[in-house]
Amino acid sequence: MKKVFRYQIVYLLLAGLFVLAVFMNINTGNVNISFGRILRIIFCGAESGAAEYNIIWKIRLPRLLSAAILGGALALSGFLLQTFFRNPIAGPFVLGISSGAKMFLAVTMIFLLRYIPSMPMWAQVAAAFIGSVLSLLYVLLFAGKVKSMSTLLVIGIMISYICSAVTDLCITFANDSDIANLTYWAMGSFSGSSWSTVRLSAVIVFPAALAAFLFAKPIGAYLLGEGYAKSMGIPIKFFRVCIITLSSILSACVTALAGPISFVGIAVPHITRMMMKTAKPGVIMPAIFLGGSVFCMFCDLAARTVFSPSELSIGTVTAVFGAPVVIWLMLSRKNSV
């Protein structure tokens, strides 16, 4: 019973932080708008047409929502990859999946923009998805051969370098306007978010996350290892394909819409597990999603306020908080590395 109490506390805490993050994100910015006015603008639709109205409705709200949705997606995708590889430091960024998505997206963007003026957003997501699946297949090819988690990590980083090299090569031969577009995007940021970003990410992320939650039971059994999972009646091949597809969809969506964002996928699931003191997927998966949302919203807040008016890339902020977690994880399990 003590355990259930702990779960409830953590969920309440996360919900509280979520509300706080929403509140702070909407209330902070280069233009100072009083809180009462914000409430009036949002709930009463007051001052329609005014600059403040546009700032709230067209900039702050979509940005906030996409940070929340994509942050949750990123954390969940990291959790799925950690389950799949039985490796606590697996994540879309360290395994080179984000870089693969980025490369494929850059290539398609450069070649496609010659024929059409702008690339539709869904096509960006599709390109990123193909890219992440391709680099994931590469990782899988090696993962079968290496058992040690640090080796897998090194392979992921190498794949990530190769992809970056190819991306740079493409940029060298691209038009100036494309470059501006690409470098900005490659930094990773929620600043370009519009309502269509929110809509598209909601349409992709929510069903994928729901599907992932429905796998909570087999994921739990999979924690014991493949042999045991199979003996309990899990169709192992089908399960593995589903997990890998879901995590690719989630991370590809993030990469396409906000650029590569590092370490959220590793740090958030671990912090959540530590807070809950359990690894039962049914309990922690929703918390991980919520935690990812909160984490990304606060990071985005930091990205746009710390050195305001200039903005940091979101990856810079997440790395500052996320990388120490990875180091700590590596050190705390000397034996199994």
Partner 1 sequence: MQREEQFYFRTDKLSVGYHGKPLLKDIELGIYKGQILTLIGPNGSGKSTILKNIIREMTPVGGAVMLEGKDIQNYGSREFAKQMSVVLTERVNTELLSCRDIVAMGRYPYTNYFGRLTKEDERIVDEALESVSALDIADKDFSQISDGQRQRIMLARAICQKPQVIVLDEPTSFLDIRHKIELLDILQKMAVKENVTVILSLHEIELANRISDLVMCVRSDGRLICGTPSEIFTDDIIRELYGIKSGSYNCLFGCTELERPEGAPKVFVAGGAGSGVSVYRRLQHFGIPFSAGILAENDCEYQVAKELAAEVASEKAFMAFSDNAFERACELIDDVSYVIDAGCPIGDTNLKMAELLEYAQKTDKIIFCKPTDKEIRHIKQMLAETGT
| Positions in the binding site for partner 1 (CB under 8 A) | 86, 88, 214, 216-217, 220-221, 223-225, 227-228, 230-235, 273, 276-280, 282, 336
CB of 86: closest distance to partner 1 in angstroms?
Answer: 7
Which residue, 114 or 145, is less far from partner 1 as judged by CB? 145
Q: Which among 282, 323, 308 has a CA at the least distance from the CA of 91?
A: 323
Which residue, 140 or 216, is less far from partner 1 as judged by CB? 216
CB of 289: closest distance to partner 1 in angstroms?
Answer: 17
Q: Which among 49, 58, 70, 68 has a CA at the least distance from the CA of 29?
A: 58
Which residue, 40 or 280, is less far from partner 1 as judged by CB? 280
CB of 331: closest distance to partner 1 in angstroms?
Answer: 15
CB of 92: closest distance to partner 1 in angstroms?
Answer: 21
Instruction: Give the whole-angstrom CA distance, residue 75 versus residue 85.
Output: 16
Q: Is 116 exposed, middle or buried (0-12, 13-18, 19+ CB in 10 A)?
A: exposed
CB of 222: closest distance to partner 1 in angstroms?
Answer: 10
The residues, any chain, with a CB within 8 Å of residue 120's CB and separated by 6 or more, are: none
CB of 72: closest distance to partner 1 in angstroms?
Answer: 20
Which residue, 16 or 225, is less far from partner 1 as judged by CB? 225
The residues, any chain, with a CB within 8 Å of residue 67's CB and separated by 6 or more, are: 25, 190, 193, 293, 296, 297, 300
Which residue, 192 or 220, is less far from partner 1 as judged by CB? 220
Prior bond of 92 cis (ω within 30°):
no
Angle of helix 195-214 versus helix 236-258 axis, rounded to 10 = 160
Which residue, 58 or 86, is less far from partner 1 as judged by CB? 86
Tokens of 126: 């599709």
